[in-house]
Amino acid sequence: MLNYIWAGLIIFSLVFALSTDVQELSSDRYRNGDALPVTVSFPEEYDADARRQPVTVELDTTAFQAFYPDATTPDPRYEGQLVQTQDGNQIVFGSGTELPQPWQDMRDFYGDETSDPIRAEAQLDAVTGTVAQARLTFEPVHFRKLNDIAAAALNFAETAASLALGLIGVLALVLGLLKIGEEGGLIHSLTRFVQPVLRPLFPELPKDHPAMGTIALNLLANVFGLGNAATPLGIKAMEDLQKENPSEETATNAMVMLLALNTSSVQLVPPVLLIAIMGLQVNELVFSIALATACTTVAGIAGAVFLSRMKRFADSNPMNDSS
């Protein structure tokens, strides 16, 4: 299942990126190579010798929208700079300037950051005092989306590694504590305590198995919204379950159940991130979250149980071989 979803994500992103690109090329969305007429005004007189001078670029909003096929309404004027280079004049819009579409997309294409400066060749036609007529030609934009997905893939690969490495500290802390709990017999007593509730969900586990204790701790951390602590506890629980797994690489029913309990996450305290976004407003949502999370938990348990009985998944159960 995951194989197909994974391949599907990749293939679909290629298909969509390509179809968007082809559509943008055929509608000539960026008017590659064409010049947009604008009015440039100088705060002081135009100085032919200055390498760099501040300018205001005035756009005729209707002409702009007629020029670009799917433009958003631009502001009538944008602050920029006129730069003299060996190849002629350029107008540069600085990194802080908010630009209309499709300029914003073009800026994303040229630069690494969405706020990078964007430059256009400027052909100055008639200069009279502080005002000049000019034609702007931007660098051509080809296959923007294709470029985007490749950049995203590299970016996310990096994010993934740093996310995983970021777990090291908390993982070490929690695993260390749990080891003390194991040696001291705390996990064992916890297991005995929660067994009546958890046993029905994990029928494959032998009686008094320590996984039940770590699962209980994992769920407890989830209930109280302690995502940071819940993950290492869940990982430890997975390890305990793996010890009972005759297969190296195939998930048991118990593992899927633990996963379902975690993705549906029983929660009484909203996650920290939500508090950060919503502020005190979260207080109102505690009950709706509790209600929804109760539904998802029931659905997760039911889903895990029923799916495990479907022929396809029942056949692949690694526990089949051992018994």
Partner 1 sequence: MLETIRSIVSILSYFVLPAILVGFPLYGLIKGVRVYEVFVEGAKEGFEIAVMIIPYLVAILFAIGMFRASGAMDFLVDTLDPVLGWFGIPAEVLPMAIMRPLTGSGSAALVADMVAQYGEDALIVKMVATMFGSTETTFYVIAVYFGAVNIRKTRHAVPAGLFADGVGVIASVYAVRLLFGG
The tokens describing 308, both together, are 């495990």
171 binds partner 1 (CB under 8 A): yes
- If we measure between CA atoms, which residue out of 248, 287, 226, 28 comes closest to residue 138? 28
Least separation in angstroms between residue 213's CB and partner 1 is: 12
Cα–Cα distance between 226 and 79 in angstroms, integer?
48
Per-residue x/- mask for partner 1, residues 286 to 315, rule CB under 8 A? xxxx-xxx-xxx-xx--xx--xx-x--x--
Q: Residue 73 gets which letter from DSSP?
A: P
Residues in 197-256 that interact with partner 1 by CB under 8 A: 217, 220-221, 224-226, 229, 231-232, 234-235, 238-239, 241-242, 247-251, 255-256
26 binds partner 1 (CB under 8 A): no
Cα–Cα distance between 317 and 302 in angstroms, integer?
18
321 binds partner 1 (CB under 8 A): no
119 binds partner 1 (CB under 8 A): no
DSSP result, 196-223? HHHGGG-TTSPTT-THHHHHHHHHHHHH
Cα–Cα distance between 301 and 262 in angstroms, integer?
10
The tokens describing 242, both together, are 């793996």
Per-residue x/- mask for partner 1, residues 49 to 68, rule CB under 8 A? --------------------
Report the relative pairing of strands 131-138 and 88-93 from DSSP bridges.
Answer: unpaired
Residues in 134-153 that interact with partner 1 by CB under 8 A: 145, 148-149, 151-153
Is-contact 86 78, C-beta < 8 A?
no
120 binds partner 1 (CB under 8 A): no
Query: Which residue, 36 or 238, has its beta carbon nearer to partner 1?
Result: 238
34, 124, 271, 319: which one binds partner 1 (CB under 8 A): 271
28, 163, 192, 208: which one binds partner 1 (CB under 8 A): 163
